[in-house]
A and B are shown apart, each in its own frame.
Chain A
């Protein structure tokens, strides 16, 4: 029951990597110890209120008070925080990008935008958006930055969070111990759609990860039936969106593999039948204030064609 209550795609108590594991251990340890302390203090307080009063001379009261204060007010918290500092701070090292003995960690650049994530693998040049694909069992250095306001990168099941500040780069060391899907979300309030800035995270076994990368190194071919959609897309959508081999916009999420992503609008709309069409028509209702203009002036047929083509962008 308790364990079931701790599970969830974004639960810090359901860790899947060493950094998150350390934080979860810390939590359970502190919860147990501080829970005891709380019970003790409340028990003593209630006892003091309930027990039959006894007579104390001022001198006795002073001595007793000093004993209480030294034992409970100085030694108890002093001991607790000393232990906490001794155990806790070294655990923080697990999340730091320390030099490794083995092979170097995989580098991934994640840039926060209002309200989506740009993801780039500098070693292969692969670019995607709103999803982060990791290899299992290999340390990953996530290099975070921001294109506008302050965001925070946070995938609770893998580790703690790190702010994404304009003008700065920072690095977070993560590692996924198990293959699976996780969820991340922007943790620093970043404006109107802060609530709709999720990151789909998936850890793949190494061969699958390599295959995932390889598939994205070449542009998808355009089937003849989508040629019209591409022509409609390029001068309009392509201003902001990049699709490998089609357009080179940089202001909005890269769409080169949008057909293979689990959701649209950074976690706003799950990918199901007709989701792409719905998103193109209703995105300002589903995620108001997002940066994409309304497409009301485009012909219905054109929108549908673009949606159908985008669905196929799944390398």
Chain B
């Protein structure tokens, strides 16, 4: 695969630039390249961080003395709600995803992520959703029910204004971006690694991001579902969380924390990945215990889903039930301990350098370990009953999040600065920034443990004198301003270095991972030629790798075909399986996000007709997006590759889109099963749940409709199997027929929905049936649409024996429809009959 090119490196770079280069001016909005998108994510994240920090300063100012009249209760409630929401949803998650979007392809030796348009779409959703949320503050309409939005406080009865809608709609919009990022990173890590980069040679940061991405895929959908249900309850009067109508406010808490706890680890794990990347470089020694760390990362990922109930220890769940989650919460100490001691052993056996990033890592260790230990304390039920919802928890949580995420992040930013700018930051300003932040942070939050133990609850906008809270609060407030100065110093340092920093040479830290084999700052395509990977430390093994890459001595060094390409590799062994061809710059992601913004704004203003139209427009844009793929003239019409190279992915049965669809459906499936969980949950525990004596659903009609769906899926499967064997006779006609049958099935389902006498505003029972049927209908209606488009593509010659790949992707959708249909049938029709008997 590797063959020395006669062309000069400069010429080669020019040719690559012609295909990969970023447009300037307003056309830059169409960029899909991961380097630009990653930087945009991080820049935007920094802006939101500053906004969130400003809110925190206001909060601390108000709490500095007892009964200060600085900020009234309404504003204060908006401030703390937005501080939490902005920091969690608009700073922490997008920031680490942005860093990963920037780094992952470079670390894996790839030229881009596998779905570049999805990265851009994710960024725009994040920007617009975040802007909607933050703009509510300027309008004085910011959400004021806490970042956890507990019902019934957030219900229409108790929060009649538009404030809560801003939260539900804005955050859901941003979550689309997070899930998109999660899908994209997971598939890219599994499918686009350098040749030979088997699972056991992957940089640890990629392991951390793989687990994090999958956690996002599993963790966010419950909250998305919860937000949809709550918004339906608020806007359309459906009953889900209202006790009087058979709902339960605890359902919201389960859905929220099912997301909310993994969220903490979604933020922490990438940061720990940064630590595991930096430490070996500065200790000048490979990380000790690679397998242990992989075990710890996987373990943390799973355990973090098994402890959401520890946020609900005070709601009156049986003690034994609480004890399960208490024990599970404590267990997280084990994988965390493994990581801490693996890092320690690495330092112990290495020859550590003590510079600014290392300083931040030491700060991370002190603060994070302290936060982890108070976390174990909180996991203990009787102690949690005492300090839950007090300032002790506020202190703990900031130790974990600031110590566990912000400190490693800043260490990482310092470390990768030469990558962003080609320059090195100043040592002196960096040290000042660190010490101010470190001291200020501890002054603020160490004391706050004490405030909490003295009985001060969270989320109070003022407090009386005489309870012993005045002094610790004053110390916290002063400390927070010191910390703010430290952060300002860091930002100043980073800002100044772009202008005054020393030029960094190649690989300035003598690091081991492939991202340092690019030019500094890198070109959009990262590598002119794609190197094979023979160890965990490619650059320590071969320090001159960057040189030979730039000379085009490795894989895929040609660009005369005009395609953006990277390797598609085996998820386990990293062996090359195909060439992934990537789409170029596109306006579609921006348009799709803009139209979605219209959807959100119309929903906020109650303009439901407009929202519907805009939603259809979004669908249209997304379909256009999927149209420009595969053998389309704007994608890869010419499938010729160099002799010896594998085929293009769209000419096989094995592209990343197959994995992307699978992962997306996984996320979708979590959302669906959260819905089914809600059904069973309310059925068993809602105090006023009253199922009717006979289910209102026409069981027989639903059964027949499901059988028709099964027949269609069997037909589609048969078609794809035939195609796999190279037989594409009458493919188009068969697809048209399946689309027509699918339309019939969807029509049957909508008849069921219309014919069932449901009163979703009167009972949670009917509301859940209505939502489940609506969900099924949406999916079953899209399936024939996708199928018809495939038929059309067959007619145009875009799909067929040469490009057989897309029907296999659509088949997954059909399978998904079938699975959810029968799961719903079981839950809605069979289960009530079984119980009733």
Chain A residues with a Cβ under 8 A of chain B: 5-13, 19-20, 22-23, 26-27, 30, 34, 37-38, 41-42, 44-46, 48-49, 53, 56, 58, 60-62, 64-66, 68-69, 71-74, 76-78, 80-81, 84-85, 88-89, 91-96, 114, 148-150, 152, 154, 156-157, 159-163, 165-168, 170, 183, 185-195, 267, 288-289
Q: Assuming A76-B337, A160-B382, is B464 touching A288 (CB within 8 A)?
A: no
For residue B72, CB closer than 8 A to chain A, the reply is: yes
A–B complex contacts, Cβ < 8 Å, 16 sampled: A8-B455, A11-B455, A27-B386, A38-B366, A48-B348, A66-B289, A81-B330, A94-B382, A154-B389, A159-B386, A160-B385, A161-B389, A167-B244, A167-B248, A188-B314, A192-B74
Does the CB pair B288–A72 fall under 8 Å? no
**A150→B312 CA distance, assembly (Å):** 12
CA distance A78 to B365 in the complex (A): 20
Are B454 and A10 in contact, CB atoms less than 8 angstroms apart? yes
CB of A77 within 8 A of CB of B344, answer no
A38 to B369: give the CA distance in the assembly, Å: 7
Provide the bound-state CA to CA distance between A314 and B709, in Å: 74
In angstroms, Cα B704 to Cα A49, docked, is 70
List 4 extra interface pairs beyond A26-B380, A188-B314, A195-B461, CB under 8 A. Answer: A38-B369, A66-B289, A88-B326, A192-B77
Which residue, of B322, B390, B688, has the highest number of chain A Cβ atoms within 10 A? B390
Give the chain B neighbours of A160 by CB distance below 8 A: 314, 382, 384-386, 388
Determine whether B43 belongs to the interface, using a CB cutoff of 8 Å to chain A.
no
**Which B296-335 residues have C-beta < 8 A from chain A?**
296, 314-316, 319, 322-323, 326-327, 330-331, 333-334
Q: Does B26 have its Cβ within 8 Å of any Cβ on chain A?
A: no
B residues with a Cβ closer than 8 A to A are: 72-74, 77, 145-146, 150, 152-153, 158, 243-244, 248-250, 285-286, 288-289, 292, 296, 314-316, 319, 322-323, 326-327, 330-331, 333-334, 336-342, 344-352, 354, 358, 362, 365-366, 369-370, 373-374, 376-377, 380-390, 450, 453-464, 466-469, 687-688
* Distance, CA A75 to CA B676, complexed state (A): 40
Closest partner residue, chain A, to B152 (CB atom) = A149
Complex: chain B residue closest to A161, CB-CB: B314
A174 and B345 CA atoms in complex are apart in Å by: 48
Check B351 against A80 for contact (C-beta < 8 Å): no
A-B residue pairs, 5 tightest by C-beta: A160-B385, A167-B243, A10-B455, A65-B288, A73-B338
Please judge, given known A-B contacts A10-B454, A38-B369, A72-B341, whether A166 and B152 are in contact too, CB under 8 Å.
yes
By a CB distance below 8 angstroms, the chain A residues around B249 are: 150, 165-167
Are A195 and B463 closer than 8 Å at their CB atoms? yes
Do the beta carbons of B326 and A89 come within 8 Å of each other? yes
Q: Complex Cα distance A192/B467, Å?
A: 22
Q: How far is the CA of A5 from the CA of B345 in the complex (A)?
A: 39
B333 & A80 in contact (Cβ 8 Å cutoff)? yes
How far is A158 from B340 in the complex, measured between Cα atoms in Å? 38
Contacting residues, chain A, for B385 (C-beta < 8 A) = 23, 92, 95, 159-162
Q: Establish whether residues A69 and B455, one from each chain, have CB atoms under 8 Å apart when the complex forms.
A: no
Chain A hits for B386, CB < 8 A? 12, 20, 23, 27, 156, 159-161
**Interchain CA distance A233-B486 in the complex, whole Å:** 59
A10-B454, A73-B337 given; A187·B388 CB < 8 A: yes
A69 & B331 in contact (Cβ 8 Å cutoff): no
Contact A64 to B455, CB < 8 A, known contacts A156-B386, A165-B250: no
The residue from A12, A49, A186 contacting B347, defined by CB atoms under 8 A apart: A49
Q: Does A42 lie within 8 Å of B366, measured CB to CB?
A: yes
Residues of A within 8 A of B244 (CB): 167
Q: Say whether, besides A20-B386, A69-B341, A161-B388, A167 and B468 are in contact (CB < 8 Å).
A: no
Asked if B285 contacts A61 (CB within 8 A), the reply is yes
User: A62–B345 Cα gap in the complex (Å)?
Assistant: 9
Contact, CB under 8 Å: A189 / B158: no
With A and B bound together, what is the CA distance between A58 and B315 in angstroms?
52
Cβ-closest chain A residue relative to B459: A189
Contact of A7 with B468 in the complex, beta carbons under 8 Å:
yes
> Complex Cα distance A77/B358, Å?
26
A56 to B346, CA, bound (A): 11
Residue in contact with B352 in the complex, picked from A48, A71, A81, A96, CB distance below 8 Å: A48
A22 — which chain B residues lie within 8 A by C-beta?
382
Which of A64, A73, A92, A168 is most buried by chain B, counting CB atoms within 10 A of its CB? A73
Q: Which residues of B contact A162 (CB under 8 A)?
A: 314, 316, 385
Whole-angstrom distance between the alpha carbons of A77 and B337 in the complex?
Answer: 7
Contacts of A11 in B (CB 8 A): 453-455, 468
Considering the chains assembled together, what is the distance between the CA atoms of A5 and B453 in angstroms? 11
User: Quick one: given A73-B340, A73-B342, A156-B455, are A195 and B349 in contact (CB under 8 Å)?
Assistant: no
Q: For the complex formed, measure the closest distance between the CB of B535 and the CB atoms of chain A, giving whole angstroms.
A: 12
Report chain B residues within 8 Å CB of A26: 377, 380, 382-383
Does A48 contact B153, Cβ atoms closer than 8 Å?
no
How far is B377's CA from A84's CA once the two chains are assembled, in angstroms? 9
Q: Is the beta-carbon distance between A30 and B377 smaller than 8 angstroms?
A: yes
Q: Give, as a whole number of angstroms, the nearest-CB distance from A76 to chain B.
A: 6
A154 to B350, CA, bound (A): 51
- Chain B residues contacting A150 (CB-CB under 8 Å) are 150, 152-153, 249
Check if B453 sits within 8 Å of A12, measured CB to CB. yes
Q: How far is the CA of A194 from the CA of B146 in the complex (A)?
A: 12
B333 touches A77 (CB 8 A): yes
**B358 proximity list for chain A (CB < 8 A):** 49
CB distance from B477 to the nearest CB of A (A): 17
Known contacts A53-B351, A65-B342, A84-B330; A168/B468 CB under 8 A: no
> In the complex, what residue of chain B is closest to A68 when comparing beta carbons?
B345
| Shortest distance from the beta carbon of A42 to any chain B beta carbon, whole Å | 5
Given contacts A12-B387, A85-B330, A192-B77, contact A168 B316 (CB under 8 A): yes
Q: Is the CB of B457 within 8 A of A185?
A: yes
Contact of A27 among B77, B339, B383 (CB under 8 A): B383
State which of B145, B344, B346 has its C-beta within 8 Å of the C-beta of A72: B344
Q: Is there an interface contact between A41 and B340, defined as CB atoms closer than 8 Å?
A: yes
Given contacts A11-B453, A167-B244, contact A49 B362 (CB under 8 A): yes
- From known contacts A65-B349, A72-B344, A160-B385, infer whether A289 and B454 are also in contact, taking CB-CB under 8 Å: no
A66–B466 Cα distance when bound, in Å, is 53
Cβ-defined contact, A60 with B73, below 8 A: no
User: With contacts A22-B382, A89-B323, A185-B457 known, is A64 near B345, CB below 8 A?
Assistant: yes
In-complex Cβ contact of A68 among B344, B351, B687 (8 A): B344
Q: Does the CB pair A68–B382 fall under 8 Å?
A: no
Q: How far, in Å, is B818 (CB) from chain A's closest CB?
A: 38
**CB <8 Å contact, B153 and A73:** no
| Residues of chain A with a CB closer than 8 A to B467's CB | 8-10, 183
Residues of A within 8 A of B333 (CB): 77, 80-81
